């Protein structure tokens, strides 16, 4: 049997990092984005879809013969309310409704640390902040991610879908700054976590922190590890290249997002 996984927002930063890492024999990646995607390399089993995840017709076609969805597409930073609402909240509703209609029972949703950006770094709890902690958004973008989680919960409770929401920290090749030493999700660990989300038996609805097992980690990996995730990376190996002056330490896990003007596109 061919396993087909639909990845929305596949042309973006995380999608580009995951494309080679999620390739497996017997697996087809169906990659959807507003922007054209690079053509398949030799031996690569991908199907390319250019279109909007906010369009129900596009999504209905994209969901055909799909076993699971990794939903990354949308606006990935602060922006005007109506734009964030359309791409992230309406968009995720369209993705979940199409998945449900197509009988797809497993969806992994990209939430963000910014759904909980106003949680303080220093909680005093050695376990770290739990995944299903109540949202404390830092931006309209963060509000949209809290709504993404709520929509996932709704579709699980109403229709029995398995929905895993990942509160992703900072998923880039390497951590950028002092905050990143706590919040980094290495690309390889990201792929490990997506695989755990795809493989877990009947996980139901969960909100999980998606970070590497960083020495300076302040969010809990308990739920992700219970699902089968095993981080092998630690941002600390980059500490020597980063200014670790404690004066630069942000108070809140959302870092600079907590200060960016609401509704103004930010370059972070
Ligand atoms: P990105 O901005 O690089 O990529 C997002 C992609 O979604 C883009 O290629 C864009 O064209 C596509 N997209 C936007 N609207 C669309 C639509 N209507 N239809 C189809 N495609 C659309 O973002 P990145 O960094 O790849 O993040 C992926 C997801 O993970 C996003 O949902 C983001 O909010 C979330 N995330 C990312 C983090 C990171 O560290 N990169 C951290 C926390 C969350
Ligand atoms: C996010 O949610 C963004 O999508 C990403 O671009 C980074 O800013 C990340 O959070 C972060 O907090 O580093």
Site to substitute for ligand 1 among 13, 116, 191, most atoms within 8 A of C-beta: 13
Give CA angle at 34 (100, 90), nearest 5°: 45
Cα(75) to centroid(ligand 1), Å: 6
Q: pLDDT tens digits for the chain (268 residues)?
A: 669 999 999 999 999 999 999 999 999 999 999 999 999 999 999 999 999 999 999 999 999 999 999 999 999 999 999 999 999 999 999 999 999 999 999 999 999 999 999 999 988 888 899 988 899 999 999 999 999 999 999 999 999 999 999 999 999 999 999 999 999 999 999 999 999 999 999 999 999 999 999 999 999 999 999 999 999 999 999 999 999 999 999 999 999 999 999 999 976 6
The residue whose CA is least distant from atom 8 of ligand 2 is 268
Helix (H) or strand (E) holding 159: helix 140-159
CA torsion through residues 50, 56, 59, 64, sign: negative
The residue whose CA is least distant from atom 9 of ligand 2 is 170
Site to substitute for ligand 1 among 7, 12, 75, 78, most atoms within 8 A of C-beta: 12
Model-wide pTM > 0.75: yes
The residue whose CA is least distant from atom 13 of ligand 2 is 170
Using alpha carbons, select from 67, 5, 3, 65 the residue that is nearest to residue 31: 5
The residue whose CA is least distant from atom 11 of ligand 2 is 170
CA distance 31 to 137: 29
- 35 in ligand 1 pocket by Cβ < 6 Å? yes
Cα(170) to centroid(ligand 2), Å: 5
For the CA of 71, the closest atom of ligand 1 is 32
SS (H, E, C) 15-56: HHHHHHHCCCCCEEEEEEECCCCCCCCCCCCEEEEECCCCCH
- Tokens 């507003």 correspond to 34
Please tell me the number of the ligand nearest to residue 171's CA: 1
| Strand spans (E) along 133-260 | 162-168, 205-210
- Tokens 């998923």 correspond to 171
User: CATH number for the 3-258 domain, one of 3.40.50.720, 3.40.50.1480, 3.40.710.10, 3.20.20.70?
Assistant: 3.40.50.720
At residue 126, the pLDDT reads 87
Q: Which residues, 6+ apart, have CB-to-CB distance to 9 below 8 Å?
A: 15, 32, 33, 53, 71, 72, 73, 74, 110
At residue 70, the pLDDT reads 98
Please tell me the number of the ligand nearest to residue 89's CA: 1
Q: Domain locations in the chain?
A: 3-258
For the CA of 73, the closest atom of ligand 1 is 7
For the CA of 179, the closest atom of ligand 2 is 13
For the CA of 76, the closest atom of ligand 2 is 4
- 113 in ligand 2 pocket by Cβ < 6 Å? yes
At residue 1, the pLDDT reads 63
Using alpha carbons, select from 5, 17, 232, 231 the residue that is nearest to residue 108: 5
- 114 in ligand 2 pocket by Cβ < 6 Å? yes
The residue whose CA is least distant from atom 15 of ligand 1 is 74
As to burial, measured by CB atoms within 10 angstroms (0-12 exposed, 13-18 middle, 19+ buried), residue 16 is: middle
At residue 119, the pLDDT reads 96
CA distance 205 to 165: 8
Beta strands at 3-8 and 68-71: parallel, antiparallel or unpaired: parallel
At residue 268, the pLDDT reads 66
User: Which residues sit opposite 167 in a β-bridge?
Assistant: 111, 209
């Amino acid at each position: 049997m061919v396993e087909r996984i639909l990845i929305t927002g596949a042309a973006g930063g995380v999608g580009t990092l995951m494309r080679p890492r999620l390739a497996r024999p017997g697996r087809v990646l169906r990659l959807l984005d507003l922007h054209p995607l690079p053509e398949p390399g030799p031996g690569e089993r991908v199907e390319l879809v250019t279109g909007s995840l906010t369009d129900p017709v596009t999504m209905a076609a994209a969901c055909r013969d799909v076993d699971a969805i990794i939903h990354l597409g949308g606006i990935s930073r602060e922006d005007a309310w109506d734009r964030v609402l359309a791409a992230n909240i309406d968009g995720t509703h369209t993705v979940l409704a199409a998945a449900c209609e197509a009988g797809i029972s497993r969806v992994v949703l990209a939430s963000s640390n910014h759904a909980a950006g106003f949680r303080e770094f220093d909680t005093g709890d050695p376990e770290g902040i739990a995944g299903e902690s109540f949202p404390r958004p830092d931006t309209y973008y963060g509000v949209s991610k809290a709504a993404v989680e709520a929509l996932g919960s709704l579709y699980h409770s109403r229709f029995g879908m398995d929905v895993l929401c990942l509160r992703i920290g900072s998923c880039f090749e390497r951590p950028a700054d002092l905050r990143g030493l706590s919040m980094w999700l290495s690309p390889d660990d990201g792929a490990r976590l997506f695989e755990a989300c795809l493989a877990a038996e009947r996980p139901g609805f969960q909100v999980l922190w998606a970070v590497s097992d960083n020495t300076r980690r302040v969010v809990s990996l308990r739920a992700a590890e219970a699902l089968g995730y095993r981080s092998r990376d630690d941002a600390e190996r980059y500490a020597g290249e980063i200014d670790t002056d404690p004066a630069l330490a942000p108070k809140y896990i959302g870092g600079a997002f907590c200060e960016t003007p609401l509704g103004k596109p930010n370059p972070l």
